[in-house]
Amino acid sequence: MTQDELKQLVGQAAADYVNANVPEGAVIGVGTGSTANCFIDALAATKHRYRGAVSSSLATTTRLQSHGFKVLDLNEIDSLPVYVDGADEIDHSGAMIKGGGGALTREKIVASVSDVFVCIADTTKRVDVLGQFPLPVEVVPMARTAIGRRVTALGGVPVVRVTKDGAPFITDNGNEIIDIKGLKIGDPRALEAQINAWPGVVTVGLFAGRGANLCLLGTDTGVETIQYPRD
């Protein structure tokens, strides 16, 4: 199967999971990226079951609304039974690197209030040690250089994310992203806490303190369901 076919496979599996486990009238949380888009497309057939969705990005909001979903502000809801999103990497504990699409801050906010975090990914995203995919860090622009020095001291290589025309990539929150290359992340929770404590960091794209509860992993033989114990 191609990677696109695997994404469609896990998108449908996530829609089936949500339809089977989330009560009618609930609000669902939806992530950002091509795999999350496959989930949105698959869930559209049963959108009438849900009061609406909380979106992690402007792009996801547009996708949801194009299918007729009502998009709610997180401040308008009391509970979020499930959050479905992809990952750039996921390890065997359910810790992830996310943020390749630039929506890491809103993704982390929505994930933090969900009861169940369902990661949807293909087998290329499962790794033994996080870090081959560059680790995104959303930063306040004035802190970019200072945070870059801290990254270098960690042994990483900071690269400011840019658009196709060479301008700094700007997140939905008006900030910039530094992608850290060259790290082998043996303790994702510790590194997440360390980087989040740096002044000027908005969010680091490590999802370890709040990792996945469940991964629906697309393989050539079907969808593998992996459960992760959470504290």
CA 115, CA 118: separation in Å to the nearest integer? 10
Task: Report the SS3 class of residue 154.
Answer: helix
User: How would DSSP label each residue in 9-52?
Assistant: HHHHHHHHHHHHHS-TT-EEEE--SHHHHHHHHHHGGGGGGSSE
On whether 100 is known to bind a ligand per the annotation, the reply is yes
On whether 101 is known to bind a ligand per the annotation, the reply is yes
- The answer to whether 177 and 171 are in contact (CB under 8 A) is yes
On whether 209 is known to bind a ligand per the annotation, the reply is no
On whether 94 is known to bind a ligand per the annotation, the reply is no
Q: Catalytic amino acids?
A: 107
Tokens 């039974």 correspond to: 81
On whether 2 is known to bind a ligand per the annotation, the reply is no
On whether 193 is known to bind a ligand per the annotation, the reply is no
On whether 179 is known to bind a ligand per the annotation, the reply is no
Task: Report the SS3 class of residue 101.
Answer: coil
CA 39, CA 61: separation in Å to the nearest integer? 13
On whether 164 is known to bind a ligand per the annotation, the reply is no
Which residue numbers belong to the known binding site for substrate?
32-35, 85-88, 98-101, 125
As annotated, the binding site includes 32-35, 85-88, 98-101, 125
